Structure 1
């Protein structure tokens, strides 16, 4: 990425004017993320792995490449060919990185599946994708074995770690017998590399087919959101599961692309553990979703008094961060959170960059974050808020966030997915306009201000009207979380005959607080005093935990459907 520093007062405009995509016709993720580093810096650490039981090991790029070569040979022996899907059902661990590299250099398609998926979720994705091989460790072996009975195409299970003996092949034995030499298969930048199934907030999950070039499309956002990654001593860690876009495309692959070490923690997330890991491994850059940051803010209000941290950048995405968390990070961590927005189909397209740290040590201002805003389009991406007819909305008018097929220079943007797996109609519905001049809709509602900053209002199906007012849940949720009694909150419409809907909040209490009628009144008054009168929750229900997707997003749809069912029952 080229930066002309002579126009520093407007670095953002300069970045967009000078930025050009460079996408070679032939491109392979494994070569870019491992192969070249194994040749050029073989002893550099690629993965620092730690298990929650205390075990830890560091593995180099040369070791990553050698293991990937062995696995590629094993998979080829199983008949895996160009374009075939291979399921990876594992958490953050060295073998997960190996599996991704091995599948990519074979020209096959990696299909990451969350270890949290139950048998039904696994069965749907395995059958829909037609995967013949699955790689699994102890975290998901039980559920995979149950699902297998209904997956006739699944021929081979490769068992990893404590799952050894429960599959058709054992990872250690199979790789020990395979050659560490493998000649990478040639792939085009447009060839399929990853098949990731969306969360399924409406209807069954859809498989988004991601090409190799999409990694290149991610890089401008990754570099900017991490305050000009990498620096020479950069170390990356994120609790984001490598089985979804946020962990794979926003953490694992871009870190390896730049030849830097990534920390893999195999265990349950907790606020204290997050700080411990960042201290122990001198983590400089991280991706922490808002749910994690909220938990860290509540559990460790003054982290600098307990931990010695080396953090230089925090990216956050998935939900709106909100100014409570934003202020906590600024005051307690001396870091301005760079919010980011994207989705599986076209990821890392909008966000912030609070600082530019150059290789010579100079620190330049990026573009100022506006607390509560998603940010602006990253270099290389053309973003707009459009209406139902595909017209760009005036500033301040809510609409659908959309990404144009071409950048501001009229060149193709490499970020886009190839389409939904076996679902051409859904792919067509994603776009508005002609093939050469089209917008791709995200399904997220926002407004854009005069400066090009986007202000998130919620998923298009999360925004609702109450008494004629358009309600975006995230602002109310952010307000509730500012109250010391609230650990997390989700706002949904409750059907109402007179108003159409009432604002209802589901609230998870912070430790030390009890649910009672007085607290309900206090929370209602808290929101009334900070937001518009029509936005305060007319009803509050306390809940032990909010329903979440495997990607860490609150499933408001689940709560909304619960309210609709209750209304029908009443």
Structure 2
């Protein structure tokens, strides 16, 4: 394990970094970095597992040849350097071929999450101006409802099922083109991905990811995920989202390491099957996925105990109960990692670097980033004072985000990029997550982070999930309200609600326990599994306004 300080010291001198990130990265191609460079005889790039138990393996050489064929097809359709190619595809080899082929000709790949409906797809395709979209038979009907849909290529089912008149057939077209296509060389500033934010508080915004970000993706995969040559690696995140395509495809393939695709729903059965069949030792995913596994209890734990070396988590902060469960039941360390679509992963408890790890802390700045905590006047705060997590761009050579496409952002203030998340600096230099700025609750003059309350609730055996918000209150400004999902063996009674209130009160403080608890069957989340507390908060605001209006009319 490398020392954290020595790893970060490598990035101390800006001129050295500029030479590394701009000089040596002046002739880049993402397909070369993530495929050609590793196309040695027999070297496996992809382990694929189907939902029915079928499986296949693909080498870097096979992917290189198929990507070249599809790249030639794209060129024949007029797709050029900088054009966008969208993929509305599940986790199959076709997805990987489309990604690599797009990169090969210097075009920009745009991922589309397969759970999106027609309107979400239409917004993203319209915003990007994509020249072509590749889909499969299952998702093809959605595109029929998309206005001004670009050229469509369909991966057909058995006997050509799903092909619509006017579509190109994916595999048929590959057979029409040669397996050689010279890669288009670009600079580190040229884009290779077009991403969209999740749009939790408004329309999703587009942003370009430049080629130089590949260095940061590889660094995270090496330092935080600690991906080793002997590891069998599985990132369960969907490649329709940032964590999946940044660190489930680009980072590991850029290191020449094979990846794992499971084409099916995330379930206890499928997770156990893939881990055992492929000997997965290095697993990454989201807290939502891990809570589902914990619900499997002892049977799940017995089936995979001893298989995993390490586990990494991203997307939402890890509750302490999840960390303890993995340690107690699987004898494995799970670490929390923080990042955003806009910047990748910048704050981590690094598996591959030697530094202190404390439960509840998001970790330390990733090498190549200087992370600070700012007050409302954008001044850097000292230890123990909550403020906005920001990246000091002047001293963060690995930071690659340059703004949203076609939108002026207020996230850049001077040399800082403001994340919008509230955090605290700890005495040892690590940083603890408090919550989104809009999520922090002000009650009776106190500031309460919803994450701490949610973590305390989840430790109660009855609670599966919880979301905590501030409800408008004339006396306290806001009062703490919790929305709770409980296990099937429990009943949603006033007695249980009171038990949960006192449970949290004893563990936290008298001002931060939930004065109201509402039992719900599910919590609002983004398609990638992030809690959407703002939906619950807006519902409570609407209720308060309605009650005020009713009282006034009476």
TM-score by shorter chain over 0.5: yes
Aligned residue in 1 for 2:261? 264
Cα displacement string for residues 61-94 of structure 1 (whole angstroms, at most 9, x for unaligned residues): 1111111111111111111111111111112221
Taking structure 1 as the reference length, the TM-score comes to: 0.90
Aligned residue in 2 for 1:158? 153
8 Å CA contact retained: 2:349, 2:357: yes
Cα displacement string for residues 222-274 of structure 1 (whole angstroms, at most 9, x for unaligned residues): 212223x22x3222112201011111112211111111221101111123422
Aligned residue in 2 for 1:175? 174
Gaps in structure 1 of 5+ consecutive residues: 6-10, 357-365
Indicate which of 391, 398, 403 corresponds to 2:379: 391
Distance apart, 1:466 and its partner CA: 1.8
8 Å CA contact retained: 2:218, 2:254: no
Of the structure 1 ranges 301-310 and 343-352, higher mean CA displacement relative to structure 2 is found in 301-310
Distance apart, 1:340 and its partner CA: 0.8
Cα 1:515–1:349 change in 2 (3 A) is same
Alignment of 1:3-22 (within 5 A): 11-19=3-11, 21=17, 22=20
Cα 1:42–1:550 change in 2 (3 A) is farther
Aligned residue in 2 for 1:401? 389
d(CA) in 1 for partners of 2:273 and 2:457?
Answer: 28
Of the structure 1 ranges 330-339 and 110-119, higher mean CA displacement relative to structure 2 is found in 330-339
Distance apart, 1:497 and its partner CA: 2.1
Distance apart, 1:320 and its partner CA: 1.2
Aligned residue in 1 for 2:445? 468
Distance apart, 1:355 and its partner CA: 4.9
Distance apart, 1:139 and its partner CA: 4.1
Distance apart, 1:471 and its partner CA: 1.7
Cα displacement string for residues 152-202 of structure 1 (whole angstroms, at most 9, x for unaligned residues): 2x3311111436413611111111112111111111111011111101122
Aligned residue in 2 for 1:505? 482
Alignment of 1:197-212 (within 5 A): 197-212=196-211
8 Å CA contact retained: 2:49, 2:274: no
Alignment of 1:283-322 (within 5 A): 283-301=280-298, 303-307=300-304, 309-322=306-319
Cα displacement string for residues 23-59 of structure 1 (whole angstroms, at most 9, x for unaligned residues): 3222222111101112xx2311111111212221111
Cα 1:482–1:161 change in 2 (3 A) is farther
Please, what is the CA RMSD of the aligned residues?
Answer: 1.7
Taking structure 2 as the reference length, the TM-score comes to: 0.93
Aligned residue in 2 for 1:565? 542
d(CA) in 1 for partners of 2:73 and 2:402?
Answer: 28
Aligned residue in 1 for 2:63? 64
d(CA) in 2 for partners of 1:140 and 1:309?
Answer: 38
Aligned residue in 1 for 2:399? 415
> Is it true that 1:221 corresponds to 2:253 in the alignment?
no
Aligned residue in 2 for 1:146? 145
Aligned residue in 2 for 1:87? 86
d(CA) in 1 for partners of 2:298 and 2:124?
Answer: 41
Aligned residue in 2 for 1:29? 30
Indicate which of 332, 347, 352 corresponds to 2:329: 332
Aligned residue in 2 for 1:524? 501
d(CA) in 1 for partners of 2:540 and 2:65?
Answer: 54
8 Å CA contact retained: 2:501, 2:514: yes
Aligned residue in 1 for 2:362? 374
8 Å CA contact retained: 1:493, 1:501: yes
Distance apart, 1:275 and its partner CA: 2.6
d(CA) in 1 for partners of 2:542 and 2:362?
Answer: 33
Aligned residue in 1 for 2:413? 432
Distance apart, 1:334 and its partner CA: 2.1
Cα 1:369–1:275 change in 2 (3 A) is farther
Cα 1:265–1:406 change in 2 (3 A) is same
Name the SS of the counterpart of 1:523 in structure 2: helix
Gaps in structure 2 of 5+ consecutive residues: 548-554
Distance apart, 1:132 and its partner CA: 2.0
Name the SS of the counterpart of 1:392 in structure 2: coil
8 Å CA contact retained: 2:317, 2:338: no
d(CA) in 1 for partners of 2:52 and 2:299?
Answer: 27
Aligned residue in 1 for 2:550? none
8 Å CA contact retained: 2:85, 2:102: yes
> Is it true that 1:345 corresponds to 2:342 in the alignment?
yes
d(CA) in 2 for partners of 1:449 and 1:265?
Answer: 39
Cα 1:309–1:520 change in 2 (3 A) is same
Name the SS of the counterpart of 1:537 in structure 2: coil
Indicate which of 395, 401, 421 corresponds to 1:444: 421
Q: How many residues align?
A: 534
Distance apart, 1:308 and its partner CA: 5.2
Name the SS of the counterpart of 1:535 in structure 2: coil
Alignment of 1:37-116 (within 5 A): 37-38=38-39, 41-116=40-115
Of the structure 1 ranges 495-504 and 259-268, higher mean CA displacement relative to structure 2 is found in 495-504
Cα 1:233–1:483 change in 2 (3 A) is same
8 Å CA contact retained: 1:90, 1:139: no
d(CA) in 2 for partners of 1:533 and 1:196?
Answer: 43
